[in-house]
Chain A
């Protein structure tokens, strides 16, 4: 008898009960990303490639149907969808091959809208108390893909934030990308892949999944940052982001390994329980926490791990910066929440002082360094750092109120950052270079509409009442004071005042300084083109502005939503 014969007879291929519904938003984003990518390749080579791509898809779908005898209805539907996508792709390229970018933009927008819709559906299902934990296949905090995912309130809310961010980035960036000649085919798929990584990160319930998601989103963003190939700043941005990102990923991985070594699990919840029960060596716990914190602090650009932020924000194409500032932050803070406020809450002694120190540094250094910037994108980069510090206040309170405040802040911040960077993209199209404070002089008189919107977003960032920024700041301050973190709030207040200085300095330049005598960009002698807003930009800015005002005046519904999200955390 050979050894082989002793082996058990292989079982027929058993399809895992795959939680399609639970990760449907990711599937939509990723699927549309693939579709747009295929479309683009087809668009380049016209019909021949298009046919072959369709052929491959159809063959693949057919093979899947043939071999997968145990498939259920859902799998067939999926195969049919894939086939349909192939046909659709062929039809669309054939019809619209002369305007591939418009097609890509529309499909991407549909993808984000679809993901948003699916998330909304998940939300409706999950907010029905009878369904939530019973129907784990759809939404649940446990046993999705072997505990890799937690589709809880934090995940759902962050999906909203990321999808809204992506949805608004498209109209805001369209003309900008066209004019800078960086409107290449990979732009939209990369945006979608990055968003996939972000939503995955927000839903990760396992440290390995956290690592993988971070890689998915980071790799896409590295490329997006360097998208303006001919621009040295953009290259620097991508390289810097890549090197430091890789470094931080490595640290994160060390942290994961250490957690696994101590607790025997990479699952966040299990590791948390094991840590609490284990009475592990303090030094080991602190090291593990420190590595995890540093890894995530890089992504959320907390001081002193913020060095890359201004350079990357400055060099990346402006719409990408806007997307990055809001959505990446939302995803990374979601991971922060799930790991520290969720599972490792019993270990608060080990991470709370460290994160509190980071918060203080982040708030103060971000605000102070922003003051000395003259390049607006750098300034907003430092401002983003300071805001990450305010967001930490919500996290540090380690309460449900804190979680909801954090989520709320992140969504509001997304609107504000898309708005400010959207206006900047508009201005850059006029100046054809980086926008400095000097370029803004007299803008309010000549172009009251974009200048007024910019002022609105800046006032919101400064937290002036009547704008959503105030409610967001109020929410985190409230959560922090409830948790007796008055000292941190005092620091936040000091930081807010410093920050207000540079926000209003921009307003001063726009509305209070005299206009330059001739229509030249200061120092270059280049005659400025008139500022022309396209429909897409106006639409995107109007939506962001409407959100900033509406949630500033009547925030009730959104506050409720964030609260509900916090209550759905396992």
Chain B
């Protein structure tokens, strides 16, 4: 069997990264062209994947299976369903835009662009992997380039942030590795293949409980769930602009994706049992993130905390155990990637001009740079989940679905939506309205390159906001299958208990 589309999606950025790193003494001009070409080709492949994906099917498509380390039962198995499809597409979309956004990167440009492309390969691999060890491998590999991006090209406190990011994720990952190995031996020690494992898994309640926690450790840190979120504001604040963009747009989604792909189907009983705890943490995250965001003086940190809140909705959607909410959760992951990514890009553009991110040091930006101000407003609105924009079509189904299964969580989460409006609009008002003062004086508006980065994202916000069906058509079957599996498993368990 020849290598398929998904392998190509991983290989193209990986090869580009190696080419950038190995070809000696490329100046930043040639390096960025290669990076742009590689990531654009990947995007083209992702578009091909979107087109060829057959809508309405729940199972995995474009599957590839080959043995990797047969001695240990590790396979190289790839495939996408509705959930991973969108996340792969999101990754492939964000990357060329990130390369374009970092166009003037001159400090060690070779390493910078190699890290970006390497990260893209690892992230796409992670979403496509259908073997537990393969997933773990991509999960950990993605750590290294991101760590380098934050630590080498980040702000003043970058070392602390990078090390914190690295260690947090590593801890979670290693616990997940124990879980993976345990699951492997529980299923007869034959294969780490996801489908095989899922089929053969038979765990006692206690085993499920502990194994759920091992996987939960990895994903809760990634999402990040309160109280494991503390690495995120540091990482976001110190990371270079595109680092923040990728972190927010793609890497936080690993957690949400992991819950839906691994935690729920593999440990349904434990999921049901622990869902109230997880939901409570998610709600705390939504409210706490929003409150802390309100108090921030640094606009980048504000958006970082808003991520904690927004990702709380994703977790809420996943653990509400309702198909509508779960589908909303997936779409919300994409939406958050687009809007928060855009916010970080815009803040980055502003920082390049004013060298400040302090809210108080900016005033009247809308007058000084109207295009910038307008786009920022639109993105802010999308982030607040204004109907007609993409944030709404993700958050609303989550609340709708959650209300049916866990009404208390839905009600509390709704306060988070209100708070989001508060902190984002307040910040917007302070920075963009008022007299043109401080850094805003003489600030240049967005240039064509920057517009080329942001406009596609803004168009998507509008498009998804007005017509989200194409997303839901692809997500729904897969998500329904996952939720049905959990419900079926727990129904059997509960009827078993009744019989006794």
Contact = CB atoms under 8 A, between A and B. Distances in A.
A504 B69 contact: no
Interface stretch (B39-47, B174-182, B270-278, B374-382): B174-182
Interface string A486-500: 100110010011001
A296 to B, nearest CB: 28
B137 A466 contact: yes
Contacts of A501: 163, 167
B185 A508 contact: no
A106 interface: no
Given A490-B178, A511-B152, A465 B166 contact: no
Interface string B128-156: 00000100111011011001100110000
A481 interface: yes
Contact of B72 (A475, A490, A497): A475
A475 B70 CA distance: 13
A478 B167 CA distance: 22
A512 interface: yes
B229 interface: no
Contacts of A513: 159
A474 interface: yes
B71 interface: yes
B166 A504 contact: yes
Contacts of B166: 500, 504
Interface string B160-177: 001100110011001101
A512 B158 contact: yes
Given A466-B141, A512-B159, A563 B185 contact: no
Q: Is the interface of A mostly helix, strand, loop or mixed?
A: helix
A497 B181 contact: no
Contacts of A475: 72
Contact of A500 (B138, B148, B167): B167
A475 B140 CA distance: 17
Contacts of A445: 108
Contacts of B70: 556
Nearest to A560: B71
Given A464-B143, A497-B171, A556 B185 contact: no
A508 B178 contact: no
Given A464-B144, A466-B141, A493-B178, A474 B72 contact: yes
B151 A511 contact: yes
A465 B136 contact: yes
B71 to A, nearest CB: 4
Contact of B167 (A459, A482, A497): A497
A556 B71 contact: yes
B189 interface: yes
B120 to A, nearest CB: 15
Contacts of B159: 508, 512-513
A536 interface: no
Contacts of B170: 496-497, 500
Contacts of B138: 465
A505 B162 CA distance: 10
B69 A497 contact: no
A465 B152 contact: no
B151 A489 contact: no
Contact of A481 (B133, B141, B163, B181): B181
A246 interface: no
B72 A559 contact: yes
Contacts of B111: 448
B177 A486 contact: no
B163 A511 contact: no
Contacts of A448: 111
Contact of A486 (B147, B174, B182): B182
Interface string B58-69: 000000000011
Given A508-B159, A560-B71, A477 B178 contact: yes
Nearest to B73: A478
Given A477-B181, A556-B70, A559-B69, A504 B174 contact: no
A252 to B, nearest CB: 35
A555 B182 contact: no
Contacts of A504: 147, 163, 166-167
Contacts of B136: 465
Nearest to A465: B137
Contacts of A474: 72, 133, 177
Interface in A527-570: 555-556, 559-560, 563
Contacts of B108: 445
A464 B144 CA distance: 9
Contacts of B144: 459, 464
Contact of B162 (A490, A497, A508): A508
Nearest to A483: B185
A493 B141 contact: no
A490 B176 CA distance: 11
A380 to B, nearest CB: 19
Contacts of A556: 68-71
Interface string A405-433: 00000000000000000000000000000
A503 B108 CA distance: 23
B69 A493 contact: no
Nearest to A404: B71
A412 to B, nearest CB: 14
Contact of A505 (B137, B141, B163): B163
Contact of B189 (A444, A482, A489): A482
Contacts of B175: 493
A457 B58 CA distance: 43
Contacts of A481: 178, 181-182, 185
Contact of B148 (A478, A505, A511, A559): A511
Contacts of B137: 465-466, 470
Contact of B174 (A496, A505, A511): A496
Contacts of B151: 507-508, 511-512
Given A474-B133, A482-B185, 12 more contacts: A465-B138, A478-B72, A481-B182, A481-B185, A489-B178, A497-B167, A504-B147, A507-B151, A511-B148, A511-B151, A556-B69, A556-B70
Interface of B: 68-72, 108, 111, 133, 136-138, 140-141, 143-144, 147-148, 151-152, 158-159, 162-163, 166-167, 170-171, 174-175, 177-178, 181-182, 184-185, 189
25 contacts: A464-B143, A465-B137, A466-B141, A470-B137, A470-B140, A474-B133, A478-B72, A481-B178, A490-B178, A493-B177, A496-B174, A497-B167, A497-B170, A497-B171, A501-B163, A505-B163, A508-B163, A511-B151, A511-B152, A512-B152, A513-B159, A555-B69, A556-B71, A559-B69, A560-B71
3 shortest A-B CB distances, which residue pairs? A465-B137, A493-B174, A512-B151
